[in-house]
A and B are shown apart, each in its own frame.
Chain A
Amino acid sequence: MSAPAAPAARSTGARPAVSRRRPARADHAQRRAPWLLLAPFLVLFALTFVLPIVYAVGQSFTRVERQGLFGEDGITSRFAGLDNYERALGDPAFVDSIWRVLLFGVVQVPVMIVAVTILALLLESASAKWPAFFRAAYFAPYGIPGVIASILWSFLYLPGFSPIVAGLQALGFAPDFLGPQTVLWSIANIVTWSYAGYNMLIVIAQLKAIPGEVYEAAKVDGAGPFRLAWSVQLPLIRPALVLTTVFSIIGTLQLFAEPQVMRAVSPAIDVKYTPNFAAYSSAFSYNDYGVAAAQAVVIALAAFVLSFVFLRLVSRRDS
């Protein structure tokens, strides 16, 4: 099971009840205390998570009408039913953007997770020299914000500027990192570069939690390194792989900074290249908050459904 689901089970193992006989005043203080401690978090959580979601859902069913040419005669909002959703999903560019990130996710997430797993296993194997150095090198890009990584890579993709493009051209290739067919995978490279090290650390953490006796037993059974990785380590690090996959799926649906920055160098990227980019453009380029809200709701629902389906698929294989 994934980590987020685990503590629910844990919390049912309640702590030993506090002693029964005590003055009423102390009892009262103890009943109040958890809410006092929780209050600031809950208030801000309501303000920045619950209310915006409620507001977005409300907005997605609302149409704003401006009277007069520029709305100078007042603005009225009224219930619009599913109009905004119809308009959002009736826009082929938005639907295309959904398919685009799905294709991206189907390729990039497995490639990254497999690569990360292999790297983690190699780093934790007895055959690796200087594991601490390599681990640090792989993790370093996580400290670079996605937009800055995108600026950096957009320079490295740019013909006439990038030494990588120049080098490949000198070798007789004609690389085109920014064309309509390739730019999606250039973005996939930026995302992988940014997050692989972070995911690798999660997998390594779980590898380190495997008790020494397990390795001992495998050794006694005469398992070689491949056998050890396949039948002992992989099954034991499954929770970490599930966790990283779910977070990667959510991340894929949120893609925004990378395409927004890459648009400056690639004409193949339009303002509706990813669902999130489309929602941003609806709100700020077209001032169409109703459709933007509907798009945001669709993205959040998709993230939720995909994560849920994935968790179900994984847990079915368990039983």
Chain B
Amino acid sequence: MRRARTWLPGLLLVTPSIVAIGVFVYGMLGWNFQLAMTDKHDQVSEGQFVGLQNFIDIWDQPRWHLSVNHTIVFTVVFVLGALLLGWLLAFLMEKGIKGEGTFRAIYLFPMAISFVATGIVWRWLMNSGTGERAVGLNRLFDWLGLPQWQWFRDQDWGMAAMALPAIWQMSGYVMALFLAGFRGVPEELREAARVDGCTEWGVYRHVVLPMLRPVTLSALIILGHISLKVFDLIVAVSGKQIITDVPAVFMWVAVFDSNDPAKGATIASYIVVSVAIFVIPYLIWSVRAERRTVRPESGSLRGQRGPSERDHEQERRS
């Protein structure tokens, strides 16, 4: 342990952030969780402690089941879709291509636009009219000879359609992550593999892809938490309709329409917990992995290496 004089200034420098996070994140989370454990089901009652009753009761509501199912469908389609598309785009661009800058700009720009702005277009595009009344994408599909469907108004797979605007918005970002990952693979490594007799495909299979695993994981985490909290997109495209209900929208309705703070807090807690279930292990894992590779002797600042080397080492271990 180093002397306090060396680390104290650093601690002081981050103190404002610690206080802010303490109040705004953990204070609010605590407030929320405490509220979720009361029976404050309207604005005026005091709210008695009821333990986890609200967390159990909510499973009796058909709407809750629906919104959980919707989230699962949305998450699977959105996360897989954005990962695959982002990966594909990065893969196609990896070796450099004419107009790469333009392509990158086109794929990235949806990230720049809010759904308050594009919701109106997506509503048009995903209009459910078919046949003679087809407009938007259905009209386009009609011209192209593709099958038409109800988009987000489809009773079973509506949420898969709802994932399209989200994929549109985030796959460019995933592309950028993967492209950075691809290009972070040192050429010498590829060359070495080729010398060892690997085919071009073998180079990808055994050298490049393993090194992309950390990038894939962080993309997965970022996409996953966006997906579990999704709100703006749904409200912008469909409003508060049951057919596209998700927990975040349900919570909004519970708090502001049903005037049921405890129920809203319960749903919020479930969202936080669902995010936490896969984020906390990831955070702990990544901090630990880093500690093992980056700082062999704890407390020392020495022996730290560049990120690509570090990733490589992680890969070799795993």
A and B associate:
no
The residues of B with any CB-CB pair to A shorter than 8 Å are: none
The residues of A with any CB-CB pair to B shorter than 8 Å are: none
